[in-house]
């Protein structure tokens, strides 16, 4: 079978001079002339095409830094390697401004996939369907919260007696969602591990689950798993694109989706966090 080095050579057209495995699915490959690329093996037949389409869709806005995509097929994705440095406050504030501009680039609809991206995509290792909807509350309930709740209940990760709490959130979403907003162009899986602090003083985004969604969802993901200098990121964001009143009270609502995804993938601990987020949403809504 073709390995990462061969895939890198095929997509870049350059000879390979070195290869280093980073994980079971990632390798760092050095090309003739010293350029370094990251080669990622997709975990499903749609994973690499979905990620490549997402990276290109985000990059075309000219806002946040995105690694160059050299090529992909059903199995492999080859992108430039980002030289990383330390997260700095100035870079964080710049990232906030750039993220606001990315969101403002918009999407055709809530749930819209990137152009040429598959409808059946992934968020991390979990399948994610990009099905469009006319309004965010109904779409978020039907295509982000409830599918993962059902799977978590079926697998016993969320107890059946706990499901009505999530269902009540979904029923009340029109009143809990805050003011209506147009579809934003989302990274879609914006936890700290997918933000690289470049040696060039900029934040770079990798591994998107890009789609049209609510801009508060990306910000809630940054809160969920922590982000260096998050206060400065938010300062830069809000100076560029002010957030609607009550946005901080809706963080738990937007975290329901990633928490349920993690419950499906990693077990009961995340189900308990999702339950807490659902109860918080009902209490503060």
Residue-level pLDDT at 225: 87
From-to residues of CATH 3.90.1200.10 in the chain: 83-285
Q: Are 222 and 100 in contact (CB under 8 A)?
A: no
Residue-level pLDDT at 285: 78
Q: Which helix (H) or strand (E) holds 259?
A: helix 251-266
Which residue in 263, 240, 249, 178 sits closest to 220, CA to CA?
249
Residue-level pLDDT at 83: 96
Contacts of 125 (CB under 8 A, 6+ apart): 43, 265
Which residue in 114, 42, 30, 121 sits closest to 76, CA to CA?
42
Question: Can you tell me which residue has the tokens 């697998």?
Answer: 155
Residue 53 has φ and ψ, to the nearest 5°, of -65, -40
Residue-level pLDDT at 44: 66
Name the token pair of 109: 């609809």
Alpha carbon distance 148, 222 (integer Å): 20
Sequence-ordered alpha helix ranges (H) in 40-118: 47-59, 89-104
Alpha carbon distance 86, 201 (integer Å): 8
* pTM score of the predicted model: 0.95
Per-residue pLDDT reduced to its tens digit, 226-283: 899 999 999 999 999 999 999 999 999 999 999 999 999 999 999 999 999 999 999 9
Residue-level pLDDT at 2: 86
Return the half-sphere exposure (C-beta side, CA atoms, 13 A cut-off) of residue 226: 2
Q: Which of 32, 189, 207, 231 is catalytic?
A: 189
From-to residues of CATH 3.30.200.20 in the chain: 1-81
Q: Which CATH superfamily is domain 1-81 in?
A: Phosphorylase Kinase; domain 1 (3.30.200.20)
Q: Is 212 helix (H, G, I), strand (E, B) or coil?
A: strand
Residue-level pLDDT at 89: 97
> How far from each other are the two terminal CA atoms of the chain, in whole angstroms?
53
| Residue 237 CA, distance from chain mean position | 17
Print pLDDT tens along the chain (285 aa).
789 999 999 999 999 999 999 998 999 999 999 999 999 998 767 889 999 999 999 999 999 999 999 999 999 999 999 999 999 999 999 999 999 999 999 999 999 999 989 999 999 889 999 999 989 999 999 999 999 999 999 999 999 999 999 999 999 999 999 999 999 999 999 999 999 999 999 999 999 999 999 999 999 999 998 899 999 999 999 999 999 999 999 999 999 999 999 999 999 999 999 999 999 999 997
**Other CB atoms within 10 Å distance of the CB of residue 237:** 24
Q: Which one of 3.90.1200.10, 1.10.1060.10, 3.50.50.60, 3.30.70.120 gives the CATH number of domain 83-285?
A: 3.90.1200.10
Note if 189 is an active site residue.
Answer: yes
């Amino acid at each position: 079978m073709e390995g990462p080095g061969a895939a890198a050579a095929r997509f870049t057209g350059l000879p390979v001079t070195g290869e280093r495995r980073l994980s079971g699915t990632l390798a760092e490959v050095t090309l003739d002339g010293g350029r370094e690329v990251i080669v990622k093996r997709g975990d499903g037949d749609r994973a690499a095409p979905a990620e490549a389409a997402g990276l290109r869709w985000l990059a075309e806005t000219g806002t946040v830094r995105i690694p160059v995509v050299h090529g992909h097929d059903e199995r492999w994705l080859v992108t430039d390697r980002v030289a990383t440095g330390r997260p700095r406050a100035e870079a964080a504030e710049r990232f906030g401004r750039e993220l606001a501009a990315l969101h403002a680039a918009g999407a055709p609809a809530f749930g819209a996939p990137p152009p040429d991206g598959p409808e059946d995509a992934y968020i991390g290792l979990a399948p994610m369907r990009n099905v469009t909807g006319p309004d965010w509350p109904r779409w978020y309930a039907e295509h982000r919260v409830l599918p993962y709740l059902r799977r978590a209940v079926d697998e016993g990760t969320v107890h059946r007696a706990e499901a009505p709490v999530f269902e009540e959130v979904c029923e009340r979403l029109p009143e809990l969602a805050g003011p209506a907003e147009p579809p934003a162009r989302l990274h879609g899986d914006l936890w700290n591990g997918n933000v690289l602090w470049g040696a060039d003083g900029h934040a770079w985004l990798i591994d998107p689950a890009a789609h049209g969604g609510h801009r508060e969802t990306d910000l809630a993901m940054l809160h969920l798993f922590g982000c260096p200098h998050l206060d400065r990121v938010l300062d830069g964001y809000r100076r560029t694109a002010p957030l609607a009143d009550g946005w901080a009270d809706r963080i738990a609502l937007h975290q329901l989706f990633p928490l349920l995804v993690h419950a499906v993938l990693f077990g009961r601990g995340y189900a308990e966090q999702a339950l807490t987020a659902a109860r918080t949403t009902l209490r503060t809504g």
